[in-house]
Amino acid sequence: MNVEKIPATEGRFNLQNYDETYANFDWAEVEKQFTWYETGKVNMAYEAIDRHLLTDKKDKPALLYSDLTREETYTYAQLSELSNKFGNVLRKLGIQKGDRVFVFMPRTPELYVSVLGTIKVGAIVGPLFEAFMEAAVRDRLSDSEAVAIVTVPSLLSRIPVDELPALKHVILVGGADEQKEGVTSFEAAMAEASSELEIEWVDREDGMILHYTSGSTGKPKGVLHVHNVMIQHLQTGKWVLDFQDDDIYWCTADPGWVTGTAYGIFSPWLNGVTNVVRGGRFTPEDWYKTIEKYKVTVWYSAPTAFRMLMGAGDEVVKKFDLSSLRHVLSVGEPLNPEVVYWGLRVFNHRIHDNWWMTETGGQLISNFRSMPIKPGSMGKPIPGVHAAIIDNQGNELPANRMGNLAIRVGWPAMMRKIWNNPAKYEEYFHIPGWYVSGDSAYKDEEGYFWFQGRIDDVINTSGERVGPFEVESKLVEHPAVAEAGVIGKPDPLRGEIIKAFISLRSGYEPSEALMEDIRKFVKEGLAAHAAPREIEFRDKLPKTRSGKIMRRVLKAWELGLPTGDLSTMED
- Residues in 323-362 that interact with ligand WT7 by CB under 6 A: 331-334, 353-358
CB of 454 to ligand WT7, least distance (A): 5
Q: Which stretch binds ligand WT7 (CB under 6 A): 31-39, 437-445, 468-476, 558-566?
A: 437-445
Task: Decide: is 143 part of the binding site for ligand WT7 (CB under 6 A).
Answer: no
Compute the distance between CA of residue 253 and CA of residue 540 in angstroms, rounded to an integer: 39
CB of 237 to ligand WT7, least distance (A): 15
CB of 560 to ligand WT7, least distance (A): 23
Task: Decide: is 378 part of the binding site for ligand WT7 (CB under 6 A).
Answer: yes
CB of 20 to ligand WT7, least distance (A): 25
Task: Decide: is 213 part of the binding site for ligand WT7 (CB under 6 A).
Answer: yes
Residue 77: CB atoms within 10 A of its CB come to 17
| Secondary element (H or E) of residue 69 | none
Q: Which is nearer to ligand WT7, 128 or 147 (CB)?
A: 128
In contact, 376 and 448? CB cutoff 8 Å: no
Q: Which stretch binds ligand WT7 (CB under 6 A): 73-81, 87-95, 432-440, 466-474?
A: 432-440
- Which segments within 401-529 are labelled E, that is strand? 403-408, 417-418, 434-443, 449-454, 459-461, 464-466, 481-491, 495-504
Residue nearest to ligand WT7 (CB): 358
Q: Which is nearer to ligand WT7, 106 or 438 (CB)?
A: 438
Task: Decide: is 411 part of the binding site for ligand WT7 (CB under 6 A).
Answer: no
CB of 390 to ligand WT7, least distance (A): 16
Could you tell me which residues come within 8 angstroms of residue 6 by beta carbon, excluding any fewer than 6 positions away?
A: 340, 344, 350, 372, 373, 374, 375
Compute the distance between CA of residue 234 and CA of residue 238 in angstroms, rounded to an integer: 7
Compute the distance between CA of residue 379 and CA of residue 390 in angstroms, rounded to an integer: 18
Q: Helices 512-525 and 468-475 sit at what angle, rounded to 10 degrees?
A: 120
CB of 360 to ligand WT7, least distance (A): 7
Binding string to ligand WT7 for residues 252 to 291, with x set by CB under 6 A, is what?
Answer: ------xx--------------------------------
Nearest residue to 186 via CA among 177, 196, 195: 177
DSSP per position, 148-201: EEEE-GGGGGG--GGG-TT--EEEETT-TT---TTEEEHHHHHHHS-S------
Binding string to ligand WT7 for residues 438 to 477, with x set by CB under 6 A, is what?
Answer: xx-----------x--x-----x----x------------
Q: Which is nearer to ligand WT7, 84 or 213 (CB)?
A: 213
Residue 15: CB atoms within 10 A of its CB come to 21
For the chain, the straight-line distance linking the first and the last C-alpha, in angstroms and rounded, comes to: 43
CB of 498 to ligand WT7, least distance (A): 15
Amino acid identity of residue 105, one-letter, is M
Size of the site for ligand WT7 (CB under 6 A): 21
Q: Which is nearer to ligand WT7, 184 or 261 (CB)?
A: 261
Q: Which residues of this chain interact with ligand WT7, rule CB under 6 A? A: 213, 258-259, 331-334, 353-358, 378, 437-439, 451, 454, 460, 465
